[in-house]
Amino acid sequence: MKIEDIKFEQKASQRIYNDYMKRIKKATSSLSKINQDDIYMEFNSHIYESIQHKNKTNEIDSLLDIIEKLGIPEEVLKPLIADKKLEQATKTFNPVHVFKALILNFTNGVSYIFFFVLYLFLFGFVFLIFAKIFYPSLVGLHIKPDSYSVFILGIVNPESDLKKQTIEVLGNWFIPVMLLSIVLFYFLITLLLKLKKSINQKTLS
């Protein structure tokens, strides 16, 4: 559907309107094009219909009234963008969308902080792959051979006692195991997000 902007008689009104709509565009820029257009058109329609129903003779006064009642785009659209981003993230499995959705939903509950920590682990695995390439003898899964009670996934200081007491068990399998962990972790997080989303919806209804 074609997006038609509202035409105002006064230059100042046009500028205020253009500025407001630009802010809506900017606030929604992280969403898909369809969602961006949908939100833009809905606010555009709201402004247009409100102006038609206002009896005020002064165009600027009417527009300022309407915009004030609609609210600051960045604040008013925050929950809508967070919801839409979460929808997009759980549909597409795209890591960038998942990461952005988590950031946007940070304030929506402690569970999202938990998800965020899980996501950090995922980046940790990526980091370890690079670390393994640069320091092959220091990075790995280090286990104490006698007890199996101590294990370290990561880098061990070559001069520490821990290095002497533990052996690295994965060897050349370290990078493939890390890659597999990344994939598994990623799907786990996205599936948990999906589950969380459906629980949210059930609680709402």
Q: How far is the CB of 191 from other proteins (least distance, A)?
A: 18
**Which is closer to other proteins, CB of 38 or CB of 168?**
38
Counted residue by residue, the chain has a size of 205
Enumerate binding residues for other proteins (CB under 8 A): 1, 4, 6, 38-39, 41-46, 48-50, 53, 69-71, 73, 76-77, 79-80, 83-84, 87, 201, 204-205
Q: How far is the CB of 181 from other proteins (least distance, A)?
A: 32
CB 162 within 8 A of CB 142: yes
Q: How far is the CB of 86 from other proteins (least distance, A)?
A: 10
**Which is closer to other proteins, CB of 77 or CB of 122?**
77
**Which is closer to other proteins, CB of 70 or CB of 138?**
70
**Which is closer to other proteins, CB of 162 or CB of 199?**
199
Q: How far is the CB of 41 from other proteins (least distance, A)?
A: 7
Q: What does residue 140 show for φ and ψ, rounded to 5 degrees?
A: 165, -165
Q: How far is the CB of 117 from other proteins (least distance, A)?
A: 26
- Tokens standing for 67? 């915009």
**Which is closer to other proteins, CB of 104 or CB of 156?**
104
Q: How far is the CB of 124 from other proteins (least distance, A)?
A: 33
Place of tokens 């061990």: 156
Nearest to 186 by CA among 102, 108, 104, 121: 121
**Which is closer to other proteins, CB of 45 or CB of 58?**
45
For the CA atoms of 113, 117, 118, 124, the dihedral, rounded to the nearest 10 degrees, stands at: 160
